[in-house]
């Protein structure tokens, strides 16, 4: 292995980060807070991002009672599932489905507090859009940071790409400057940011994807999720796929792209994901991605054989540094 600084992995994994902070594995409980999304409710669009499933990209989140998305109950259900395999578990409450900050602030205060007040929860991670971080929401996050100094509050931003042409195609619904503004505000509150990037978006070359990575290197973000583009049932992306407007990546292509991205990524950025879970029941392509173990093992072996590691091609040029 080229580098030993992250334990057994050639990159700075979330697992390694958690073990170095808490001395144990931390499990994620994916939640559905019953929020919606402005890209679905008509405020921006009614169709959603072109790849987004009916579950609002939260297909693994706990199932909810629409009238009462009881966060405490979801957390207990999540713990029960994990506790059958472990003892003394600690958890992250992950507000995954739809847009986790898109609701009245009092409601958000309630659901985040429900999670933060649980003694087994070490922190919360909220997936959202950069255009859904109003001053009220930011003030709430700052309050909660003060109220729960021993717990973390992370924000996950679905950027997917820096390229405007692709952003328009996927109907992301906001400009890159909106992302930059959100990062600036979150950083001023010292809220760690995790950015979601999709690899294999139609029309993007490997150089385009690497440009997104190089751009993110300049923002001092905390973490990144590298996600394979999944084609899911009942999405407009699926219609384009059936019309042969693009091809899904093969496993070899994907692994090659992930390795390139990792070698170009700052070694300080924590890798929260290198694959992406396609829900089997609605996944159209690529079907190889359902075998996450094989994907991960192949990635690790190729990195080991090639002596690749995170940051080996990273140059801290400060070229784009807008913060």
Segment near ligand SF4 (CB under 6 A), from 3-11, 46-54, 219-227, 307-315?
46-54
Least distance to ligand SF4, CB of residue 57, Å: 5
Q: In this structure, are strands 152-160 and 121-128 parallel, antiparallel, or unpaired?
A: parallel
Among residues 321, 302, 319, 315, the alpha carbon closest in space to that of 9 is found at 302
Residues 157-176 that bind ligand SF4 (CB under 6 A): 158
Q: Is residue 48 part of the contact set for ligand SF4 (CB under 6 A)? A: yes
Contact 209, 178 (CB under 8 A): no
Contact range with ligand SF4 by CB under 6 A, out of 24-32, 33-41, 299-307, 313-321: 33-41
Per-residue contact string for residues 116-155; x = within reach of ligand SF4 by CB under 6 A: -------------x--------------------------
Q: Which of 13, 32, 57, 125 binds ligand SF4 (CB under 6 A)?
A: 57
Minimum Å gap between C-beta 236 and ligand SF4 is 11
- b/e sequence 228-260, b meaning 16+ C-beta within 10 Å: bbbbbeebebbeebeeeebebbebeebbebbbb
Compute the least distance from the CB of residue 100 to ligand SF4, in Å. 9
Is 11:73 a contact under the CB 8 Å cutoff?
Answer: no
**Within 62-101, which residues bind ligand SF4 (CB under 6 A)?**
98-99
**Interior angle at CA 311, CA 323 and CA 225, nearest 5:** 70
Q: What is d(CA 259, CA 229) in angstroms, rounded to the nearest whole number? A: 16
Give whichever of 158 and 311 is closer to ligand SF4, judged by the CB atom.
158
Find the shortest distance in angstroms from Cβ 266 to ligand SF4: 26
Q: Does 182 bind ligand SF4 (CB under 6 A)?
A: no
| Least distance from ligand SF4 to the Cβ atom of residue 254, Å | 20
Q: Contacts with ligand SF4 in 225-254 (CB under 6 A)?
A: none
Interaction site with ligand SF4 (CB under 6 A): 37, 39-40, 48-49, 52, 56-57, 98-99, 129, 158
């Amino acid at each position: 292995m080229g580098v030993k600084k992250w334990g057994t992995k050639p990159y700075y994994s979330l697992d390694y980060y958690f073990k170095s902070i808490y001395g144990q594995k931390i499990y994620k409980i994916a939640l559905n807070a019953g929020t919606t999304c402005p890209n679905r409710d008509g405020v921006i669009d009614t169709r959603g991002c072109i790849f987004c499933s009916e579950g609002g990209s939260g297909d693994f989140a706990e199932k909810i009672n629409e009238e009462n998305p009881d966060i405490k109950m979801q957390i207990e259900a999540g713990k029960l599932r994990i506790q059958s395999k472990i003892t003394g578990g600690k958890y992250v409450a992950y507000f995954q489905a739809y847009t986790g900050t898109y609701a009245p602030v009092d409601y958000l205060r309630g659901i985040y507090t429900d999670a933060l007040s649980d003694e087994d929860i070490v922190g919360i991670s909220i997936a959202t859009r950069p255009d859904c971080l109003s001053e009220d929401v930011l003030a709430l996050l700052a309050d909660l940071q003060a109220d729960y100094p021993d717990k973390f509050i992370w924000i996950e931003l679905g950027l997917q790409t820096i390229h405007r042409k692709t952003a328009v195609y996927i109907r992301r619904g906001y400009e890159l400057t909106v992302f930059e503004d959100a990062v600036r505000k979150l950083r001023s509150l010292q809220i760690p940011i995790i950015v979601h990037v999709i690899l294999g978006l139609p029309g993007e070359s490997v150089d385009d994807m690497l440009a997104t990575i190089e751009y993110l290197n300049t923002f001092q973000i905390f973490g990144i999720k590298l996600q394979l583009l999944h084609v899911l049932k009942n999405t407009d992306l699926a219609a384009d796929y059936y019309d042969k407007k693009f091809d899904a990546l093969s496993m070899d292509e994907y692994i090659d792209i992930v390795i390139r991205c990792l070698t170009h990524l700052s070694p300080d950025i924590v890798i929260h994901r290198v694959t992406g879970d396609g829900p089997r029941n609605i996944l159209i392509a690529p079907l190889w991605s359902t075998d996450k173990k094989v994907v991960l093992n192949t990635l690790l072996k190729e990195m080991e054989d090639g002596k690749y590691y995170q940051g080996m091609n990273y140059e801290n040029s400060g070229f784009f540094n807008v913060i």
